Structure 1
Amino acid sequence: MGFFAVAYSIAILFILIGAGFLCMKGGVLTRDGISGITSFVVNVTLPALILQSMQVPVTDTMLSQLFPFLIVLVAFYGVSFAAAFLVPKISGSSSDPETGVIRFMMIFSNLGFMGFPVSAAVFGPESLFYVSLFNMTFSFLIFSVGVVLLRPDMGKYLDRKLFLNPGIIASGVGLGLFVTGARIPGPFADALDLLGSVTSPLAMIIVGALLATLSAERLLTDRVVWTVASFRLIVIPLALFLILRPFIDDPLLLGVPVLLAAMPVAANTVMLAEEYHVDSALASRGVFVTTLLCIVTIPLITTLLT
């Protein structure tokens, strides 16, 4: 069941990547068009997705699981951050922009688009509670820590753009609504849901469009990308499993974070790399290769967990 859920999700992603590839090759998309779509996603649809994803009701179950979840969350990002600072050295990263993209790819996996259906298939619908909590944390970190990783100069000088971008504003508002239990009125919530739903499709189309500008030889021989794929898909989830297993008895609280850690590179990596003018080509290669390989690695990880 887990294998078919993975295969189904990946098939959707590759159809979208193929659409972007063909649009770029056929002249439907141009570099200027890619920049325009990227800006629209980063500043409009992704903030809408973040805001709507934080509309999770606070329940007694959530409160009772808060402390163990925080322990797991610290371990989850602790392993990811350790890999983020190790992989650039192992892969022989040659520039700051490249290093920033590598670190971003190590920390942020595709836990939204793929995490929900795969977790539901492997562990059942009750696992989606934990996926939602991880997704909220992801949404908050991607526009704060994520942007600083891609553009260290913005964090070093506390650039006001870091705090005033639509993503971080949406994260702050969403967190406030979550804590207070306030709900967005129906028509606005539905509009945000519709806007947010186009984020993943547009991100994968841009991945395909950027891949159309690269050579196949570069994709197959890129040492950096294959090192990233090894850590993203195998080393990080296995390390997290070994760290959590002695302390966590709940199979969901152990299994869900390990499964999410095994997801491929987040498609949003490409969007943000393009928006902040760093190595979006490397980001595209990372998304493509890890998404392709995870059809083999995720079933192996789920076998370990189940």
Structure 2
Amino acid sequence: MEFTIVFQSILIITMMIIIGAILARTSPLNNETRAVFINMIVNIAMPCIILSSIFHVDMNEDMFKRIVLVFVLSIVINVVGIALGWTFAIIFQKDSDRTREIALLSGLGNTGFIGIPLCAALLGPEGALYAAIFDAGVDVTIWTVGVVMLQKNRKFALHTLKSMINIPTAAIVIGLLAAYFNIKPPEVFVGLSDRLAAMAAPLAMFYIGMMIMGLQRGNVRQAAPKMWVPITVKLILLPVATIFMVHFFNFDSVLIQTVLIQSMMPTITLASILFARYKADEQMGALTTVLSTLLGLVTIPFMVYVMSLFIN
């Protein structure tokens, strides 16, 4: 992978975030605009990225095996990140009552909003497909391990799985079934999915830019002592651990690069929403998401460079 391509992609992402921040000056992010952005990204753009990727990748038995492998690796990496966050929280923040939040923020990355568009730009349709499968593994981890950790009674209920039934997941299932049975959609539908898929990155970055403008300095200073652990684990330690994990296996090059890039993603955007639902620290989730995204603009190119030293 050319490092210049990575740098250019991150630079474009940065410029999109700046545009989002400028937009927030005239149209501040509120509950209504937030819902509109999330609906367009999650229910239109991301499913179209998934379908577009499937339409442009030749499906065969080996490809399906690699898809299953990416899904399993995603869950393993997510759990490793959560375990690292939990461990570091206990060691460095013994008196903190936010251990469960720190653990989840350390392991769950923004593999949908940022990861899928970035992998599509860097690695093409195959990378976008693997990224979507990785993101599905993140969803499974959220609604199983994440929910159990956030609940006071620490019990898993089957009704939590209903949250995994969403349009991006349906797009993965429908697209893979169509590919497996060699069902080719009309060209007009393929063209439509390609064009709608191109909306994902700009909309997601505009949204993040608008979130950044909503930060309050006082809240950041107050929460900073709690946030350094999840940000360090998510942006540095987990990618390094993932590099060592996959370095010993002879996997497909695009698969390895996709998994590694997804492991480098900043904290998941859903964190604040998830924490609010289970009466955890919603503010900490939102602040960690925004700050890790800003720092990720620096750490992602650096970690990609480190990755290239091991892969090449």
Both structures adopt the same fold (TM-score exceeding 0.5): yes
In the alignment, is the contact (CA less than 8 A) between 2:20 and 2:209 conserved in 1?
yes
Q: Determine what percentage of the aligned residue pairs are the same residue.
A: 16
Question: In the TM superposition, what is the alpha-carbon distance from 1:132 to its structure 2 partner?
Answer: 4.7
Distance 1:243 1:210, change over 3 A: closer
Is 1:231 aligned with 2:233? yes
Asked whether the 8 Å contact 2:126–2:254 carries over to 1, the reply is yes
Residue 104 (structure 1) aligns with? 108
* CA shift in 2, pair 1:186/1:71, >3 Å: closer
Name the amino acid aligned to 1:305. I
- Runs of 5+ consecutive residues of structure 1 not aligned to the other structure: 120-127
For residue 113 of structure 1, what is the aligned residue in structure 2?
A: 117
Segment drifting more, 11-20 vs 80-89: 80-89
Change (3 A) 1:162 1:79: closer
How far 1:134 moved relative to its partner?
1.8
Distance in 2 (alpha carbons) for counterparts of 1:254 and 1:164:
25
The aligned counterpart of 2:182 is 181
**What is the TM-score with the length of structure 1 in the denominator?**
0.75
Q: Is the 8 A contact 1:112 1:135 kept in 2?
A: yes
Contact 1:21 1:211 in 2 (8 A): yes
Cα distance change on mapping 1:107 and 1:88 into 2, 3 Å: farther
Q: 1:171 to 1:262 in 2, by over 3 A?
A: closer
The answer for the alignment partner of 1:207 in structure 2 is 208
144-153 or 16-25: bigger deviation: 144-153
Trace 1:29-48 onto structure 2 (pairs within 5 A): 29-48=29-48
> 1:81: which partner in 2?
79
The offset of 1:158, in angstroms, is 1.8
Q: Give unpaired runs (5+ residues) of structure 2.
A: 277-281
Aligned residue for 1:141?
Answer: 137
Write the letter of the residue equivalent to 2:243: F
Cα deviation for residue 155 of structure 1 reads 6.4
CA distance in 1, matches of 2:136, 2:228: 28
**Per-residue displacement from partner, 1:37-94 (whole Å, max 9, x unpaired)?**
22232222222222322225445xx535765775576445423321123314524571
Match of 1:169 in 2: 170
The corresponding residue for 1:283 is: 289
Partners in 2 of 1:286 and 1:251 — Cα distance? 29
Secondary structure of 1:113's counterpart equals helix
Alpha-carbon distance between aligned partners in 1 of 2:120 and 2:197, rounded to the nearest angstrom: 15
TM-score (norm 2): 0.74
Amino acid at match of 1:7: F
Contact preservation (8 Å) 1:46, 1:199: yes
Q: Which residue of 1 aligns with 2:6?
A: 6
Aligned residues: 292
C-alpha displacement of 1:299? 1.7
Structure 1 contact 210–284 (Cα < 8 Å) conserved:
yes
Q: Cα gap change, 1:58/1:166 in structure 2, threshold over 3 Å: closer, same or farther?
A: same
Task: Go from structure 1 to structure 2 and tell me whether the alpha carbon gap of 1:244 and 1:38 turns closer, same or farther (over 3 Å shift).
Answer: closer
Moved more, 99-108 or 206-215: 99-108
